[in-house]
Amino acid sequence: MATGYSRFVSALVVLMVFVSQESIAQEKNRFGFCEWSKGWPMCLITDSPELLGNRIPVILIHGWEMKGIPGVPDLTVWPRLVDYLQRFSWFREKYRLYYVSYYSNLQSLDAMGQIFRDLVDSMSLADPEFRRKQLVLIGFSMGGLLARACMQEPLFGGGAGQLGGDKVLKLITLGSPHHGSPFANGPARDVKAGWWLELLHQFVDGSLFGFDIRWYMHNRSDLHWDNYDGLFDYEGSSENNFWLKRLNADTSFNYKISVYGGEVTPSDGIYDCFNLNLKYCLAAIMNIVLGIKQSDGLVPFTSALFEPCTGCGSVHPFLDYNHSEMVRGKTADDPLFQRVAEDLFGALLVGRWRISLTGHTAYGQGPSIRWIELDLSQPLSAWNPSWRNLPFWPNPSPLLARWSDSAGCRAGIETDNPYIFGDVSEGFEISIGVEHHYCNDDTDFYLHGTADKKLNVITGTCGGGLNCRFTMVKR
């Protein structure tokens, strides 16, 4: 333990040898671990040398730097989101922030996922509480794919016999190219562009990549379109992204993922580029040149939302948000930040709860319900965007109930999709629909209550014909 902790504190010294003066400014006064590869470090860092305690780690993973070899880390994307989250007492008390800092364009995402796994192992060995806790990952752009790559890697130090995804409570991806981005492609993309090729080279290969990062290089090649929709002709092509296809074929941890995607609609088509309207220029090129009507300018809408998102926990579309705005937002109180806060608050509810009921809790001659055990460990497999709430769990199981007396026939209880809604600054309102089976009679009721800001207890009343109160306590 002492050795691991000393490594943890001494990582500050390691961070100070970063070559880029910009990245030194970003990394100073941070503590954590670094793993070196290809002559450059990837680091898992936090703001204080103190141990985790009872909090849950939230790890922020920045995106791809598209210019330069190496492409320098960019932690400047996070302050506005972090400032928003730090407003809430429940966030400060329940979570602790960590950051992943890495250099781009040096090695494959597959290799980077292994290094990220090693950093998680190192932190787990140094801090027993970190080892015991599940993680929340928030990845912007390519950072979301780096998180998913780590989730497929076996753990050694802090969870032998587990994959990284077993240690993850929730993954939030912001504008991540789950199917890749057609802009990253080379010859197959150019064939699709036809006579618009020169425009594509000028604004994409020149402005985005600076002609430094070729289509066959790390990490651009990791982001080649996976062609799930047949957009490109890959016959005989070396651009086929087999790594991303394999990653997407494994849906084991999709239920833990909340995907966020942005979409901007060009105002003047291709003239947005000549008018230097950069927010819409790249979206116009993707539309006119490649035939992709919806994108955030860098990532197609369908890619960011992981279409068809088989088994995903939740899907969050944001209209008129370009790629940068999918992490920086537009304002200090951006709806994007509120939705992320709601996702984080909802993650705190995962687990087993005991619900105690008092008052009239019976229908007719049926037995009274005295307690319910509710397992909220299964995230929802689909998200209904018309709801203004946080649905997480379809028919949680197992669900147990105790009755005040015995009956001559089988009695049971199950839930109908529980959901959460409300304002993260005021505490959440929680509604749970319940179907009560007694003999041949099925009756529905619901529990409606409010969680305090610290989420220590949820209290409320019964609805749907029952006159009772309930208290929920996490076991």
pLDDT tens, residue by residue, 95-118? 999 999 999 999 999 999 999 999
Q: Are residues 146 and 220 in the same domain?
A: no
Q: What pLDDT, on the 0 to 100 scale, is given for residue 278?
A: 78
Specify the pLDDT at position 216. 95
State mean pLDDT over 281-289.
91
Indicate whether 340 and 368 sit together in one domain.
no
pLDDT at 383: 31
Rank 2-11, 82-91, 180-189 by mean pLDDT and report only the highest.
180-189
Enter the tokens of residue 447. Answer: 């529990």
Q: Do 60 and 147 lie in a common domain?
A: yes
- Reported as a single tens digit per residue, the pLDDT across 455-474 is 778 888 887 767 788 888 88
pLDDT given for residue 158 in this prediction: 58
Residue 214 shares a structural domain with residue 162: no
pLDDT at 423: 52
> Would the pLDDT of 9 be above 50?
no
Residues 405 and 371 in one domain: yes
Strands 369-375 and 352-360: antiparallel
pLDDT at 263 > cutoff 60: yes
Q: Which of 274, 306, 322 is the last residue of a domain?
A: 322
Q: Is the pLDDT of residue 385 over 60?
A: no
Q: Which of 182, 199, 294, 195 is nearest to 233 (CA)?
A: 182
346, 380, 408 - which closes a domain? 346
What's the pLDDT at 10? 37
pLDDT at residue 222 is higher than 80: yes
Binning pLDDT at 50, 70 and 90, where does residue 22 land? very low
CATH number of the domain to which 132 belongs: 3.40.50
Give the mean pLDDT of 410-439.
52
How many domains does the chain divide into?
Answer: 3
- 465 and 366 in a common domain: yes
Q: Domain range for residue 428?
A: 350-474
CA atoms in the 13 A half-sphere facing the CB of 29: 3
Asked whether the predicted pLDDT for residue 15 surpasses 50, the reply is no
- Are 280 and 203 contained in the same domain? yes
Of the listed ranges 292-301, 319-328, 343-352, the one predicted with least confidence: 343-352
Residue 330 confidence class, pLDDT cut points 50, 70, 90: very high
Within this chain, do residues 203 and 171 fall inside the same structural domain, yes or no? no
Residues 67 and 117 in one domain: yes
Q: What's the pLDDT at 155?
A: 87
Q: Is residue 181 pLDDT above 90, yes or no?
A: yes
Confidence class for position 137, pLDDT limits 50, 70, 90: very high
Q: Residue 109 class from Cβ within 10 Å (0-12 exposed, 13-18 middle, 19+ buried)? A: buried
| Number of Cβ within a 10 Å radius of residue 398 | 9
CB 289 within 8 A of CB 185: no
Tell which phi-psi region holds residue 38, choosing left (phi > 0), alpha (psi between -120 and 50) or beta. Answer: left
240-249, 367-376, 389-398, 405-414 — most confident range: 240-249
Q: Express as a percent the part of the chain with pLDDT over 90.
A: 48
- Verify that 308 and 413 share a domain, yes or no: no
At residue 454, the pLDDT reads: 64
What average pLDDT does this structure show over 297-322? 92
Give the best-scoring range by mean pLDDT among 15-29, 151-165, 390-404. Answer: 151-165
295 plus 151 within the same structural domain: no
Does 340 lie in the same domain as 212? no
Buried/exposed 441-452: b ≥16 CB within 10 Å, e otherwise: eebebbbebebe
Domain boundary among the residues 346, 381, 411 is at 346
Mean pLDDT over 123-131 rounds to 91
